[in-house]
């Protein structure tokens, strides 16, 4: 299983942000925990249908050092759709 981060291009509150996703929801939470992210920062059901964590550019660099795969926006969209389908099957 892999964990993915796109480019930190989204501006918000004076920082650049990106998205952290994984092939599996449990893997996503495990990796986020290793990065020191709080579960409360998870953005997924029931808040939104797009399961992910938002990362700052600094956190993105740490995620890459921990083994996340850097990817473009189109890859993130593919992974997101697969993760959404997985969550639907589990429901």
CB 66 within 8 A of CB 34: yes
Q: Give residue 18's pLDDT band: very low, low, confident or very high (50, 70, 90).
A: very high
**Strand pairing report for 42-43 and 69-70:** unpaired
Dump pLDDT digits (tens) for 25-67: 899 999 999 999 999 889 988 888 889 999 999 999 999 999 9
Task: Give dist(CA 43, CA 10) in Å, integer.
Answer: 16
| DSSP H/E element including 58 | helix 57-65
Mean pLDDT of the chain: 90
Q: For the ranges 63-67, 69-73, 84-88, which has the lowest average pLDDT?
A: 84-88
């Amino acid at each position: 299983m892999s964990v993915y981060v796109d480019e930190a291009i989204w501006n918000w509150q004076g920082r650049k942000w990106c998205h952290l996703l994984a092939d599996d929801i449990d893997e996503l939470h495990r990796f986020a925990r290793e990065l020191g992210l709080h579960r409360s920062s998870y953005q997924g059901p029931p808040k939104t249908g797009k399961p992910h964590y938002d990362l700052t550019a600094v956190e993105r660099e740490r995620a890459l050092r921990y083994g996340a795969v850097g990817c473009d926006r189109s890859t993130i969209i593919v992974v997101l759709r697969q993760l959404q389908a997985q969550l639907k099957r589990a429901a």
